């Protein structure tokens, strides 16, 4: 039985690590400036934890095989429950682990700071992401750079567009606001995302951009990212929001600055 | 410490007093364990339905018909609720703890037998309320076992959010009350009812684990109880603790000013200690079982005690790691990240002690030993993914993906379950007087061990590929479609693994009736429960009071006549922990 356990633990460790190393299933190809750093941090952590995993599983397996009951009168090696020698070994192990953990944590600290402590740059494209069961509405402030007021009692999802988020047309700032079903953003320029939820909690997850942030009713939460590749990228709701959670899908469409300007102008013209 | 007389009550006559409304901690322990077994089969059945729906959405099942997307989320909610509360919390702590704690410390019963009976029946009512949610109009709630508000706080936020969600909240509130009463009883019993000579540092590690778990429960369940009561008020009395100004289905809710994050803080202040409530008893059981079957004293008893104690303290400081992307202050994430990383230190030390216990042992691969060994392997596998999720930056891509599902199922679900099974196979002979079948036990172990890995390791890969949790259909997002083969593999693995549990059920029923008669100490173990008759008499020791002179794990002591020295045998020179 000891040998079977050893063989199984070896097979388990090698096969499960293989798929991490071979990247058979891996993060989507990064499409933002944050991706490289996060992926690198994941790999660093993976190396540390992979070694710990391998040593523990195979060490366990070898001990099980080597110290199996082989019959006979011999007794197990007595080891007193308390000894100072053990204490020093354990203290050493604790310090090692503490250093490893805190080292790994500190290595990744600046990535979080870049994502969350720093506000978006002044020239960022501002988009207000509105989440409600089970759709995404992306609002742009228009030439005035200001978002108009919204009111819950004005919401009318069936009318779509600006009405869906309850835009108050009496507010002068709302005159040039427009709402899109697809999130257009220009490439290589930071996007300042303002997240709002109208009913329950949703989460704005864009795997390719390495972006995830909950949208919480009653709060306007900022996050930001800088797209580096042209194309369409999936937005997947990443917080259980009800029956249609699985179909709360959106698109981030990264275009050139020119195309973005043209698109914005066309939407502005529709609005007037 | 001779307060025992007041707790010894005459053996009851009649079926109802003896088996239903019993005051005997052994019967109550078995009642809790039975509840756990019923609940685990319900929970597994729900998960199987989920898995089938996920990969064959149109499948029409006999008797049940087609599973709809809302039904999927109801299954998700109830699978989580039943498994976390009525299995992982109920079986190892309330079940085994009630059964074995008093006997292990040499007491005739728990400190408060009537309170003990009340705890069980409150928990039973909680289970009835949870199951009743399925039969409510609209069905069970779909908000997940974490019940994030406002989804859980608004009656019209989805199917099942009416009466079903009320029953869910009532169920959890009742469960909290039952657990609080249980925790009080465990703490008092451990502190006041120990036999002569049973110092704290001579207690078996199982008793330490139950004692520490009771402290966790006392501090954590009160918070959840408050949260559930407030939730019920928001749902039914028009208060707005968790609900800000907003709409639902385009209609203004009439609530204003509440904070959805308040629910998350309250829930996870309970929720993170809860994962240790689920696993600490298993840690105690595994420490015990590995020592017994490697025929060696547990490696560094005190390290295990202090590591578990450290986990208890730290577990109240880490709840924010569930909320890195929730919108709480990003600065607090650093603090929660450091405390979370710190908790890996005692966890790693425990693993080290378990492996070192086996080192130079003479390992007997009995079924309980195999499940104990399986626990160590699973605890490592589930543990090494913790430091990824503990980093706020890495939590951004990984949060709410299958990576998390894989992580917590391995460590909190399956590892705890292995501890429970180790304990079940270990104490079964003492409790019913018959041995379980070893061949079926080993078969059960291999089905479950290989199966659990086949189910949960691939979930990590799904998470890396960005697969969000709790998606009932994989048709709406292009890249999820490509991951369906992995999901199919998991479903097949789940089907095989869960079928393997029928071996356990068969073994259980067969052994109850036909199992080989068990001796008083079939495992040649040292702790006090193995000194008394099998099964133990009503007052546990037949009028005698045990006197303890040795530590709990005196195996292979040089010079002793046999390779184990009971806690009540004449003193040995190398007494553990003294």
pLDDT, one tens digit per residue, over B160-209 is 999 999 999 999 999 999 999 999 999 999 999 999 999 999 999 999 99
Tell me, yes or no, whether A183 and A251 share the same domain: yes
Kindly indicate the confidence band of residue B576, based on its pLDDT and cuts at 50, 70 and 90: very low
Which of A142-151, B57-66, B68-77, B250-259 is the least confident region? B57-66
Pair (A205, A150) in one structural domain: yes
Residue where a domain terminates, one of A97, A116, A135: A116
Q: Same domain, yes or no, for A90 and A167?
A: no
For residues A135 and A242, state if they share a domain: yes
How large is the ipTM? 0.96
Q: Using an 8 Å Cβ cutoff, are B553 and B578 in contact? A: no
Residue B167 Cα, gap to closest chain A Cα (Å):
18
> What is d(CA A126, CA A141) in angstroms, rounded to the nearest whole number?
7
Contact state of A132 with B464 under an 8 Å Cβ cutoff: no
Nearest to B347 by CA among B339, B84, B211, B369: B339
Q: Which residues pair with B468 in a beta bridge?
A: B401
Residue B577 confidence (pLDDT): 42
Query: Cα separations (Å) of A8 from A4, B375, B409?
Result: 6, 15, 20
DSSP letter string over A242-269? STTGGG-EEEEEEE-HHHHHHHHHHHHH
User: Is the residue at A73 inside a domain?
Assistant: no
Question: At residue B573, does pLDDT exceed 90?
Answer: no
Which positions 129-188 of A are in contact with B (Cβ < 8 Å)?
132-133, 152-153, 155-158, 166
Please answer yes or no on whether B158 and A214 come within 8 Å at the CB atom.
no
Q: What is the DSSP string of B65-106?
A: EEPPHHHHHHHHHHHHHIIIIIIIIIIIIIIIIHHHHHHHHT
Burial of B565 (0-12, 13-18, 19+ CB in 10 A): buried
Pick the range with the lowest mean pLDDT from A157-166, B227-236, B488-497. A157-166
Helical segments of chain A, H only: 2-21, 35-66, 84-112, 161-164, 257-271
Asked if residue A150 and residue A191 are part of one domain, the reply reads yes
Residue A92 pLDDT > 90, yes or no? no
Q: Is A34 inside a domain boundary?
A: yes
Q: Is residue A75 part of a domain?
A: no
**Residue A77 is assigned to a structural domain of this protein:** no
Residue A77 per-residue DSSP state: P
Residue A22, domain extent = 2-68+85-116
Kindly list the structural domains of chain B, giving each domain's residue range(s) and its CATH number in brackets, ordered by start.
28-258 (1.20.210.10), 275-512 (1.20.210.10), 517-578 (no CATH)
> What pLDDT is attached to residue B3?
44
What size, in residues, is chain A?
272
Instruction: Tell whether A151 and A107 lie within a shared domain.
Output: no
pLDDT band at B1 (very low <50, low <70, confident <90, very high): very low
Tell the residue number behind the tokens 């406002």, with chain if given. B150
Who's near B359: CB < 8 A, 6+ residues apart?
A63, A67, B299
Going by C-alpha positions, the residue among A20, A61, A55, A8 that lies closest to residue B449 is A8
Question: Domain total for chain A?
Answer: 2
Length of chain B: 578
Q: What is the pLDDT of residue B164?
A: 97
Is residue A78 in some structural domain? no
CA nearest to B427, candidates B500, B508, B354:
B508
pTM, 2 dp: 0.96
pLDDT in tens, A237-247: 999 999 999 99
Q: Say yes or no for a CB contact (<8 Å) between B260 and A246.
A: no
Stretch 183-242 of chain A: residues touching chain B, C-beta under 8 Å:
197-201, 203, 205, 207, 210-214, 216-219, 221, 234, 236-242
**Tens of pLDDT along B387-439?**
999 999 999 999 999 999 999 999 999 999 999 999 999 999 999 999 999 99
In a domain, A151, yes or no: yes
Q: A145 and A106: one domain?
A: no
Cα-Cα-Cα-Cα dihedral of B371, B373, B377, B379, to 10°? 70
Q: Which chain B residues contact residue A57 at CB under 8 A?
A: 377, 380-381
Q: Give the pLDDT confidence score for residue B65 in this predicted structure.
A: 85
Q: Note whether B165 and B235 are within 8 A (CB).
A: yes
Q: What is the CATH number of the domain that holds A206?
A: 2.60.40.420
pLDDT digits (tens, 9 = 90+) for A102-154: 888 888 889 999 999 999 999 999 999 999 999 999 999 999 999 999 999 99
The pLDDT of residue B175 is 98
HSE of B445, CA atoms in CB hemisphere, 13 A: 28
A38, A137: one domain: no
Tokens representing A195 are 């997240």
My answer on whether A239 and A142 are in the same domain is yes
**Do both A44 and A95 map to the same domain?**
yes
Enumerate the residues of chain B whose CB falls inside 8 A of the CB of residue A48: 387
pLDDT reported for residue B7: 55
Position A74 in a domain: no
Both A149 and A234 in one domain: the answer is yes
A238 and A181 within one domain: yes
Task: Select the residue from A24, A103, A214 to test the B interface by mutation, using most B Cβ atoms within 10 A.
Answer: A214
Judge whether A79 lies within some domain.
Answer: no
Longest dimension (CA), chain B: 80
Could you read off the pLDDT of A184-201 as tens digits, one per residue?
999 999 999 999 999 999
């Amino acid at each position: 039985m000891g040998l079977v356990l050893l063989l199984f633990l070896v097979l388990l460790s090698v096969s499960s690590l293989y798929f991490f190393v071979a990247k058979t299933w891996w993060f989507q190809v990064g499409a933002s400036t944050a991706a490289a750093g996060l992926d690198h941090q994941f790999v660093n952590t993976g190396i540390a934890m992979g070694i710990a995993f391998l040593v523990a599983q195979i060490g366990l397996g070898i001990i099980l095989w080597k110290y199996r009951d082989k019959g006979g009168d011999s007794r197990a090696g007595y080891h007193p429950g308390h000894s100072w020698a053990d204490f020093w070994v354990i203290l050493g192990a604790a310090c090692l682990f503490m250093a490893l953990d805190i080292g790994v944590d500190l290595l990744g600290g600046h990535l979080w700071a870049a994502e969350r402590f720093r506000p978006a740059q002044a020239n960022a494209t501002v988009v207000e992401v509105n989440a409600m069961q089970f759709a995404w509405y992306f609002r742009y402030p228009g030439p005035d750079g200001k978002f108009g007021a919204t009111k819950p009692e004005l919401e009318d999802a069936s009318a779509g567009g600006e009405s869906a988020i309850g835009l108050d047309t009496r507010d002068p700032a709302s005159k040039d606001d427009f709402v899109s079903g697809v999130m257009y953003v220009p490439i290589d320029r930071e996007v300042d995302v303002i997240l709002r939820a109208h009913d329950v909690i949703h989460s704005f997850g864009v795997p390719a951009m390495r972006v995830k942030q909950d949208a919480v009713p009653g709060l306007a939460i900022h996050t930001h990212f800088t797209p580096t590749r042209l194309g369409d990228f999936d937005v997947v709701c990443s917080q259980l929001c009800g029956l249609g959670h699985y179909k709360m899908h959106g698109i981030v469409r990264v275009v050139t600055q020119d195309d973005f300007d043209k698109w914005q102008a066309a939407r502005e013209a529709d609005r007037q | 410490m001779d307060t025992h007389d007041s707790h010894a009550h005459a053996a009851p006559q009649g079926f109802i007093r003896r088996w239903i409304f019993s005051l005997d901690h052994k019967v109550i322990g078995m009642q809790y364990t039975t509840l756990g077994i019923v609940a685990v089969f319900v929970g597994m059945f729900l998960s199987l339905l989920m898995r089938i729906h996920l990969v064959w959405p149109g499948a029409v099942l006999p008797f049940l018909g087609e599973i709809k997307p809302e039904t999927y989320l109801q299954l998700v909610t109830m699978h989580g609720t039943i498994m976390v509360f009525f299995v992982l919390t109920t079986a190892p702590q309330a079940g085994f703890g009630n059964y074995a704690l008093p006997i292990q410390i040499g007491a005739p019963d728990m400190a408060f037998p009537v309170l003990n009976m009340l705890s069980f029946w409150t928990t039973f009512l909680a289970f009835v309320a949870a199951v009743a949610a399925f039969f409510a109009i609209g069905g069970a709630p779909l908000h997940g076992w974490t019940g994030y508000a406002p989804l859980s706080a608004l009656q019209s936020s989805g199917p099942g959010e009416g009466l079903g969600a009320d029953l869910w909240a009532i169920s959890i509130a009742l469960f909290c009350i039952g657990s609080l009463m249980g925790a009080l009883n465990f703490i008092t019993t451990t502190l006041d009812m120990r036999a002569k000579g049973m110092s704290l540092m001579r207690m078996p590690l199982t008793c330490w684990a139950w004692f520490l778990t009771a402290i966790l429960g006392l501090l954590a369940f009160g918070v959840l109880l408050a949260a559930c009561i407030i939730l019920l008020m928001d749902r039914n009395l028009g208060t707005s603790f968790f609900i800000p100004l907003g709409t639902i289905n385009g209609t203004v809710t009439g609530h204003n000013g509440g904070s959805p994050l308040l629910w998350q803080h309250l829930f996870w202040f309970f929720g993170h200690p809860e994962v240790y409530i689920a696993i600490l008893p298993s840690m105690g059981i595994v420490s015990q079982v590995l020592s017994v079957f490697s025929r060696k004293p547990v490696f560094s008893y005190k390290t295990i005690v202090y590591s578990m104690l450290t986990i208890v303290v730290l577990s109240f400081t880490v709840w924010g790691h569930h909320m890195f992307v929730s919108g709480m202050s990003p600065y607090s994430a650093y603090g929660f990240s450091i405390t979370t990383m710190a908790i890996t230190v005692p966890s790693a030390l425990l693993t080290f002690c378990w492996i070192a216990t086996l080192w130079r042992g003479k390992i007997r691969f009995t079924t309980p030993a195999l499940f104990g060994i399986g626990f160590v392997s699973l605890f490592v596998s589930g543990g090494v993914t913790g430091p990824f999720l503990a980093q706020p930056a890495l939590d951004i891509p990984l949060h709410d993906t299958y990576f998390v599902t894989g992580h917590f199922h391995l460590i909190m679900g399956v590892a705890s379950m292995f501890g429970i099974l180790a304990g079940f196979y270990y104490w079964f002979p003492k409790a019913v007087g018959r041995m379980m079948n070893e061949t079926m036990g080993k078969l059960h172990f291999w089905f479950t061990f290989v199966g659990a890995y086949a189910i949960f390791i691939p979930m990590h890969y799904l998470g890396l590929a960005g697969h969000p949790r709790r998606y009932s259909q994989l048709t709406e997002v292009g890249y999820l479609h490509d991951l369906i083969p992995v999901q199919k593999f998991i479903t097949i693995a789940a089907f095989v693994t869960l079928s393997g549990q029928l071996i356990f059920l068969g073994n259980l029923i067969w052994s109850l009736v036909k199992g080989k008669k068990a001796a008083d100490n079939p495992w040649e173990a040292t702790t006090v429960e193995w000194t008394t008759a099998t099964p133990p008499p009503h007052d546990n020791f037949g009028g005698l009071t045990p006197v303890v002179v040795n530590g709990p794990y005196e195996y292979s002591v040089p010079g002793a006549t046999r390779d184990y020295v009971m806690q009540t045998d004449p003193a040995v020179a190398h007494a553990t922990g003294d």
